[in-house]
Amino acid sequence: MDIPKMITTLLQKSLGRTLVASILMLPLILLGAISAQAADGPLVVAPPPLSSPSFGSCYNPQQQVFRLTVVNKSDVDAYIAYDIYGKANSFVKLGLFQAGESKIFPVSEEGTLRKFISYDNTQWQQKGGTHVLSVAGHTANHLLCKGSASVCKFDDTNANGVQDEDESPISGWQMDVFAGTREEGELPLASGVTGGEGGFVNFEKLLPGAYTVCEAEVDGWLPTVNLCQSFTVSSEQETSVTFGNVRGGRIIVDKATEPAGAADVFDFTLRKGEATLDFALTDSAAPFDSGLLFPGVYSIAEMPTIGWTLEDITCESVNNESIVSELSNPVTINLQPGQVVRCTFTNTQIPTPTETATPTETATPEPTPTDPTPTETATPTETATPEPTPTDPTPTETATPTETATPEPTPTDPTPTETATPTETATPEPTPTDPMPTETATPEPTPTDPTPTETATPTETATPEPTPSETPTPVGSLTVTKVVVWGDVVQEAVQFTLCVAGPSFPNGNEAGACTSFDGSGGSYTWSDLLPGVYTVTEVGVDIEHWAVEGSGGAVEVVANSQATYTVTNTAVNVSGESEIPTALDPTAEPQLTFTQRLFLPAVLR
């Protein structure tokens, strides 16, 4: 049986005579090529084609230098170089790159770079687009070399705000980074959680500028430094920020009395250094709880209370049920991190002695004498009392007689002293009551003019103008459109954030100042904006993969009208596979104006 013939017949029926003939001839063709090559010399295999190298850059304003990142996108090793368009003797060889290798070079000159690649470092071909280095362009498009921040969290057991050698790091603590100063309600620019052996969290790719990092509050812990700290990021520099926290302790004070349930109030003072806290307790009241306290030495003193004596003070650590102190009042406690101490002050009531009083002789009180003399009714007219004959009070001088003489009595004048007729008591004349009653003057009524009063034409009552309500402040609106150009880059999930800063949002990071778009772009309208100039800025964009046009621009919002603005993001193709090799003479390159040089995106494709 002819097997090859049968196979040929079957192939012809299924594939056709022409195709089968070509397949059968292929081995002969290959054999002929190999034979011919063997006759002419060794077989030479052509190298794979070279791809355009990828250029990216940022500007370091502190060092005033560009950082040029160059990537060999070819599948083989190759030499890469560049020159500055329009500048003589500017050809710079960057050396040999392995396939896929990336290197960074400092470049101090501005200009438009043209890319060159070579197999052997001698035969060069210009391949791919150009790359612009511009201080103004990089600054306007936020193409500044980024820095980073490293945030550390540690257990500050001695609460001195400094990490000592024996103080360990804390993992699992959230940290939030904000641009500039943190505003109430502002969303963080970036967030992370501490971890690893050092308790660090790193925030990479931060543009140079001022930032604020804040730690989250965790129950049971007290901060030993500020909850939020400011720091500054510089290009290609790492900034370190450290946060210390310590576990807080608590002191609980309870009052017990004998007899129990006394309503008397007992005053206390909790003291640490110069700081004091006063509180009061009764037997039936809930115990005093200090809340979280920093570790340290505290004292508790009970003030004296009338009728009570302090019998006992017992303090114990709730954590391990150990006795902390049984000292006299005041009691001193050395509070440790995380420790809870409970102290009980027990008071006994002092009994009041029943005093047996010696009966004092009860003195019969003399009655208050009632003056029988009636109160003299004063006679209106003064009654003259007759003066009696004056008796000379001066006694007659008795001389000591040699002879005792019987003194003659002073003759009593038989004529009685004339008793002066008392002046007739004038009966006071009563105020004469005029039998004619005083004429009560009847007030004359206001005479009614029989002639009717002329009715005055009433003055026109002015309708009071209502108090004008406060005129609302006129406002406007701003619609910002995000345009996303993918070009030949495969679309993927991405998010863009735009913020506005102006009269309604002075800092540009307040609540409501920012909005986000996905990879399809779209529009967003800010309503009720105060009139004025607003700056539209895109934040957090990956400048290595996107060229941004319009970020940082200004637009004026006018009252009762709508302003519009557009920010365009163009995806940068960093694959290098779609480039078309060029071999143009420098004089044939397209001429760029100064403005184009200044604001060209980082990578021109």
Q: Is the pLDDT of residue 351 over 50?
A: yes
pLDDT at 489: 81
Which of these ranges, 8-12, 237-241, 542-546, 563-567, has the smallest mean pLDDT? Answer: 8-12
Residue type, 82: Y
b vs e for 415-431, b when ≥16 Cβ sit within 10 Å of the residue's Cβ?
Answer: eeeeeeeeeeeeeeeee
Quick one: how many helices (H) and strands (E) in the chain? 4, 32
pLDDT at 366: 66
Which of these ranges, 41-50, 382-391, 543-552, has the smallest mean pLDDT? Answer: 382-391
Tens digits of per-residue pLDDT, 108-158? 999 999 999 999 999 999 988 899 999 999 998 889 999 999 999 999 999
Query: Model confidence at 575, in pLDDT bands (50, 70, 90)?
Result: very low
Contact at 8 Å (CB) between 478 and 564? yes
Residue with the two structure tokens 């250029």: 55
In the structure encoding, which two tokens stand for residue 529, read together? 């904006």
Measured CA distances, 216 to 153, 180, 194, 315 (Å): 11, 18, 11, 34
pLDDT at 289: 96
Q: Is the pLDDT of residue 573 over 80?
A: no
Give the rounded percent of residues in the chain with a pLDDT score beyond 70: 66
Tens digits of per-residue pLDDT, 208-233? 999 999 999 899 999 999 999 999 99
pLDDT at 14: 56
Report the SS3 class of residue 359: coil
Tens digits of per-residue pLDDT, 283-328? 989 999 999 999 999 999 999 999 999 988 988 888 776 666 655 7
In the structure encoding, which two tokens stand for residue 444, read together? 């004359």
- Region 455-465 average pLDDT: 54
Tens digits of per-residue pLDDT, 163-176? 998 999 999 999 99
pLDDT at 572: 75
Can you list the positions of beta strands (E) in 249-326?
A: 250-258, 266-272, 275-281, 288-289, 296-302, 308-317, 322-325
Q: Is the pLDDT of residue 400 over 50?
A: no
Q: Supply the DSSP string of 97-130, one letter for each residue.
A: E-TT-EEEEEE---EEEEEEEESSSSSEEEEEEE
**pTM of the shown model:** 0.49
- Region 11-40 average pLDDT: 52
Query: Model confidence at 73, in pLDDT bands (50, 70, 90)?
Result: very high
pLDDT at 588: 40
Which of these ranges, 45-54, 305-314, 455-464, has the smallest mean pLDDT? Answer: 455-464
User: What are the structural domains, with CATH classification, of the chain?
Assistant: 3-40 (no CATH), 54-133 (2.60.40.10), 147-247 (2.60.40.10), 250-349 (2.60.40.1140), 476-572 (2.60.40.3050)
Which of these ranges, 196-205, 239-248, 331-340, 453-462, has the smallest mean pLDDT? Answer: 453-462
d(CA 224, CA 108): 45
pLDDT at 579: 39
Query: Model confidence at 581, in pLDDT bands (50, 70, 90)?
Result: very low
With vertex at residue 348, the alpha carbon angle to CA 345 and CA 353, rounded to the nearest 5 degrees, is 160
